[in-house]
Amino acid sequence: MLPASCLMAIPDERMSDDARRIEDSRAIERFLRAVERRALRMAEFATRQREDAIDLVQDAMFGFVRSYGTRDAGEWPPLFWRVLDSRIHDWHRRQRVRSRWFAWLDRDNDGDDPIAAVPDAREPGPLARLADGEAAIALDAALEALPLRQRQAFLLRMWEGLDVAATATAMRCSEGSVKTHLSRALANLRNRLEAHR
Amino acid sequence: MTTPPREPWLDRSLALLDRSAEALDAATLSRLNRARQAALAQARPRHWHIGAALAAATALALAIGLVGRGLAPVPAPPTAHAVSDGGALNALADDDDSLELSEDLDFYAWFDAQQHDVDG
């Protein structure tokens, strides 16, 4: 009979592959758990709707796991934000198309105004429920007023803490563009928020 | 690479953002958890795929076997012709006078049985 140490040493390729896959899956789960709240807030700033924001984050999780789950864990942060950023842009593109259709319908129906009949789906901003009241509402309004690229640059670079190169990867643009967007975002936010103390 | 200077308004803003991320309600966190688990299900080992493939292959083999048996020629069930005496029928069929009678196979079957009873 073989000693236990020999039995343990018998290689089992399939088992080791499975064990590695499970470990990878756990690592991805830890990563997603760490970023999902901020991802939801970022999507909420972009959409102003909780439901759409959750859908975007879920889509981003699916896309990230499918496309980049096998990459080295060190590469994950900019890739995850890249997927989410892409989903956010897709959402805005769909909204633009939809609003064009509504505008076209509105032109054809002079008497009725379907847009006026549709309830406003926008919700209070993600910061509106915070106890800080005025400061939170001011930040919410300031972020909403930023163009999408500036807001993304600010959130990814300053809040999420990505460096310039990783932010450029996430936003699918050059590092110079990131610096430009961020500089403008900081200037706009400073103008609006410096007075709030 | 230089980090932009952290001004007070910026520190306050980032702190507010952090708190907003921490302040998510339980229902939203639950939905995020479900979304995460669904996404991760793609990456987990898929032994069930192997099981499903084996089950499908077995079902296919069974289906092919059953269809094959269904297509094979099946022996016809015995009829009145089979139990009657072929030789006697042929002889009767050759006889023009008895041609009409040869069509009444039930009668000949009964007649044959009667004969066996008498002989027996």
Which amino acid type is present at position B51?
G
Q: Is the pLDDT of residue B108 over 50?
A: yes
How many Å lie between the alpha carbon of A127 and the closest alpha carbon of chain B?
6
Mean pLDDT value of segment B75-83: 53
Q: Do A129 and B23 touch (CB under 8 A)?
A: yes
Query: Is A30 touching B (CB cutoff 8 A)?
Result: no
In order, the DSSP letters of chain B are --PPP--HHHHHHHHHHHHHHHT--HHHHHHHHHHHHHHHTTTS--HHHHHHHHHHHHHHHHHHHHHHHHHS--PPPP-HHHHS-HHHHHHHHH-GGGHHHHT-HHHHHHHHHHHHHHH-
Between A28 and A106, whose confidence is greater?
Answer: A28
Query: Is A24 touching B (CB cutoff 8 A)?
Result: yes
pTM above 0.80, yes or no: no
Q: Do B38 and A193 touch (CB under 8 A)?
A: no
Q: Which of A32, A66, A193 sits opposite B13 (nearest CB)?
A: A193
Query: Is A127 touching B (CB cutoff 8 A)?
Result: yes
The whole-angstrom separation of Cα B94 and Cα B88 is 10
Q: Is the pLDDT of residue B41 over 60?
A: yes
Query: Is A41 touching B (CB cutoff 8 A)?
Result: yes
Question: Percent of chain A having pLDDT more than 70?
Answer: 77
Q: Choosing among A139, A143, A162, which should be mutated to test the B contact, i.e. which has the most B CBs within 10 A?
A: A139
The whole-angstrom separation of Cα A42 and Cα A48 is 10
Q: For residue range A110-136, list pLDDT tens digits in order.
A: 555 555 555 555 566 666 666 567 888
Model pLDDT, residue B119: 64
Query: Is A65 touching B (CB cutoff 8 A)?
Result: yes
Q: Do B43 and A24 touch (CB under 8 A)?
A: yes
CB B86 within 8 A of CB B105: no
Q: Is the pLDDT of residue A92 over 50?
A: yes
The DSSP H or E segment spanning A54 is helix A50-68
Lowest-pLDDT range of A175-189, B26-40, B91-105: B91-105
Q: Do A21 and B45 touch (CB under 8 A)?
A: yes
Q: Quick one: DSSP state of residue A145?
A: H
In our burial notation (b when 16+ CB lie closer than 10 A, e otherwise), range B90-113 reads eeeeeeeeeeeebeeeeebeeeee
Burial of A162 (0-12, 13-18, 19+ CB in 10 A): buried
Query: Is A180 touching B (CB cutoff 8 A)?
Result: no
Between A185 and B83, whose confidence is greater?
Answer: A185
Lowest-pLDDT range of A119-128, A149-158, B37-46, B91-100: B91-100
Q: Choosing among B7, B11, B16, B19, which should be mutated to test the A contact, i.e. which has the most A CBs within 10 A?
A: B16
First to last CA, chain B: 119
Encoded tokens for A9: 């040493």
